[in-house]
Structures are given as structure tokens and as C-alpha cells.
Amino acid sequence: MANKNETALEKFSSGYNCAQAVLYSFKDDINIDGNTALKMACGFGAGMGRKGEVCGAVTGGIMVIGAKYGRGENEEKTATESTYTKTRELMDRFETRQGALVCRELLNGCDLSTEEGQMYFRNNDLFNATCKKCVGSVVQILDEIL
């Protein structure tokens, strides 16, 4: 059986985005099926719909934290504070490791919303050079803080 990091990198390498890969790798921990995880996270890849905002791996990680610790109906407000604390910890640790939280900063200004940016991404192998490391970092951090 593959570990979460292997699962995430396999999903990511097979064409799913960074947010999908992270959320999918924790599906059993948060009691959702794989298809639901992939659908929920689909819009968050490449910094949210290729906008280059917060890294999709990080937003996938935040979804994991929310699903595991977030406040639902008829639950105490302390769940919100616990979720916020874990979210900040994930974000702070990721930023320390990777140097930024924002996708376009992680990709040195590459604009994934344009054909030119997507070509630059491919030609410079940013998938392997940057994005796989981001996915792996989030999975590792989540494993440590969950």
C-alpha cells in the first residue's frame, strides 16, 4: 500500500492538479471517497483556477484540515479556532520550506493563465522542479500536524 506522499505524487503525475493530489491522498483520513475529493479540489489547482494565487497544494491541505477539524452544524466554536491554528501552522511551515505561499511567486512569475506561461512552465519543467516539491511538502506537513 502506497503512503500518502506516493499517492499524492502519483495522482499529480497522472494529470490531476496539486490541490486534487493533496486532498485525494488524505481521503481515508477525512472519510470522503476519491471521486468527491477530486471534484471538490478541482478548481483550486494552479493557485485557484490558474490565477497564480495561494498554491493549490496548500489550499488542498487547508481542505484536509477543515474536513478533519472544521466546525460543522451544532459543533462548538472552538473547532473553528483549532482549524485556524492548524491552517496557520500549515501555511507558515510551507512558506518557511518553499519560500512563498503564492503560486506565481513559487513559479518565479510564471503566469499559468496564458499560453506563454503554460509553455514556459513546460519548457522549464516547473512541474518537477517546483510543483512536485510543493505537493510533497504539504503532505509531509499534514502528516505531522494532523
Q: How far apart are CA 31 and CA 72, in angstroms?
A: 15
**Cα separation of 32 and 27, whole Å?**
5
Whole-number pLDDT of residue 1: 60
Q: What is the pLDDT along the chain (146 residues), one digit of tens a residue?
A: 679 999 999 999 999 999 999 999 999 999 999 999 999 999 999 999 999 999 999 999 999 999 999 999 999 999 999 999 999 999 999 999 999 999 999 999 999 999 999 999 999 999 999 999 999 999 999 999 99
Cα–Cα distance, 63 to 66 (Å, whole number): 5
Task: Using alpha carbons, list the distances in angstroms from residue 14 to 9, 36, 95.
Answer: 8, 17, 26
DSSP assigned state of 102: B
> Rounded CA gap, 139 and 26, in Å?
9
Q: Can you tell me the distance from the alpha carbon of 131 to that of 15, in angstroms, rounded to the nearest whole number?
A: 13
Taking the alpha carbons of 31, 34, 40, 46 in that order, is the dihedral positive or negative? positive
Q: What is the pTM of this model?
A: 0.96
